[in-house]
Copies of this chain bind each other. A is one copy, B any other.
Amino acid sequence: MSGDGTFLTDFATLSGFGATERGGVHREAASEADEAQWIWFGRWLADRGFTVRHDRVGNQFGLLERTPGARYLLVGSHLDSQPRGGRWDGAYGVLAAAHAVHRLGRETHALNLAVVNWFNEEGSRFTPSMFGSAVFTGGLDLAEALDTRDAAGVRVGDRLAAMGRTGTDAPALADVAAYAEIHVEQGRVLENAGTTIGLVEATWAARKYGLRVVGEQSHTGSTVMADRRDALLGAARLVVLARELSDELSAPEAPLHTSVSRMVVEPNSPVTVAREVSMNLDLRSPDEALLAHADAVLHERVPEIERSARVGVEIAGSHGWGVQPFSPAGVQLAREVADELGLSHRRIMTVAGHDSVNLNGHVPTVMLFVPSVDGISHNEGEHTTDADACAGLDLLTGVLRRLAAGGIAGS
C-alpha cells in the first residue's frame, strides 16, 4: 500500500487551506481557513460512507459502525495550526487516520471505527492547548471551554454555533475502547538515528506556569529610575531566568527545556512604564526529579527579581504532569507491525503535548511518530518526506487492524 497517491493528493488539497507563501499554513482554531477545511473534511468523510457527528465543543467525528453496539476504536489528531505553522502538525494525523480507517472499512472488526478531528489542539487563539480532547476526557469543563474568548473577544461557544459545528449525538469517552494517533515528531531524534518510526513510550514531564508581574505605571522619561516599578523589566528577568535554568540544570541524559513565548504588556505605551505583564513559563524534562529541582530553583530566584525590579510576581495557574507512559502493550503491538512492514523503528518519548496525552490514562492509547526534517515544527518550514508519510500511513493501518480486533482494548 506504500506510495498511496490518493493520500498524497488529499494531503496537498488539505495543505491549501490557509496556505502561506512560505509553504506553511495559518489556520487557527475556528478561523475561516479552519472552517473551510472542516467543511471539506466532513464532505470527504460523508462521501466515503462515514457518519459525521459533532460534540458540544466542536470535535468532529467520522463513524463507521459495522458492529452494532460495539465500542469504538478512535483515531485522529487535529486540523488547526499555529499562526504561520507547518502543514504536517496534526493534519497529517487526521488525514492518515481517515485513509487508514477507509482502507479497513470493508472489513468487519470486534470494534467499530471512528476518525476524529479534535477542536483547537494548538491553543494559540483560545487557550489552553489540547482543548477539544480535554473537554472530551473531562479535564476541561465544557461551560468554561465555551466561555473562552480570543484576544478580540470572540467566544468559543458563539463561534462554534455560528459555524454549525456542534452536536449532541457524538460518541462519548465511555463509547471509546482504545485510541491511536500518528504525528510528526517535531524533533530530531528519528532523523538523527535514521529511523522511520517512533514508538512513543511516554510523555516528558512538564510544569506550566501562568505568571503575572505587577508593577506601577509611571512616565518613562521623567520618573527617576529609583522610583520605577517596571513590570516589563521584571518580566524580562523572568525570561532570562527561564533560559538560565536550562543552561545550568540540563544534563545530556536529562535535558531541561524551558520557554517563555507569550507576553501581554499593559498599557504597552511608548512613554509609560508597564504596570503589568502576563506571561507563560514552561519547564519540561524527561526526568521528574530534575523538573522538581528546576521548579524549586525557579521559586528560589523569583524574590530577587521582585526586589531588583520592585515588582510583584504572582505564580498563578501552575499545572503540570509527570512522565506518563503510553500502553506498553500498544508499543509492543506497533513494534510488531513495523517489523512486519520492514520499517525501522525505535522507542521515543514525546516532549510536545498531543491529544493522545489527554486520552492516555482513560483508554489504552497508541502514539506513533514519523520523522520531521531538521526537527523543524511550529514553523512554515516544517516538513516530512512523502516516503515517511506513506510509511506512517501503512503502519497506522496495520496497527488499527490489530487494535480493532481487540488487541489491547482490554489491557
Contacts and interface: CB of A to CB of B under 8 A. Distances in A.
Interface of A: 82-85, 122-124, 127-129, 185-188, 204, 206, 216-225, 227, 230, 232-233, 235-237, 239-240, 243, 246-247, 250, 255, 257-275, 280, 282, 284, 350-353, 375-380
Contact of A261 (B83, B224, B270, B380): B270
Nearest to A123: B270
Contact of A263 (B225, B265, B376, B377): B265
Copies in the complex: 2
A378 B272 contact: yes
B250 A240 contact: no
22 contacts: A82-B269, A122-B271, A129-B271, A187-B223, A206-B221, A221-B282, A221-B284, A221-B351, A224-B255, A230-B259, A232-B260, A233-B239, A236-B236, A236-B237, A236-B239, A261-B272, A261-B273, A261-B274, A262-B269, A262-B270, A271-B352, A273-B378
A188 B224 contact: yes
A288 to B, nearest CB: 16
A354 to B, nearest CB: 10
A375 B223 contact: yes
A236 B353 CA distance: 26
Given A236-B239, A240-B233, A220 B259 contact: yes
A398 B355 CA distance: 73
Q: Is the interface of A mostly helix, strand, loop or mixed?
A: loop
A255 B82 contact: no
Nearest to A309: B243
A257 B225 contact: yes
B378 A270 contact: no
Contacts of A216: 379
A80 B187 CA distance: 50
A267 B223 CA distance: 32
Nearest to A208: B270
Contacts of A186: 219, 221-223
A264 to B, nearest CB: 8
A247 B376 CA distance: 40
Contacts of A258: 225
A309 to B, nearest CB: 8
A284 B379 CA distance: 39
Contact of A225 (B227, B246, B261, B267): B246
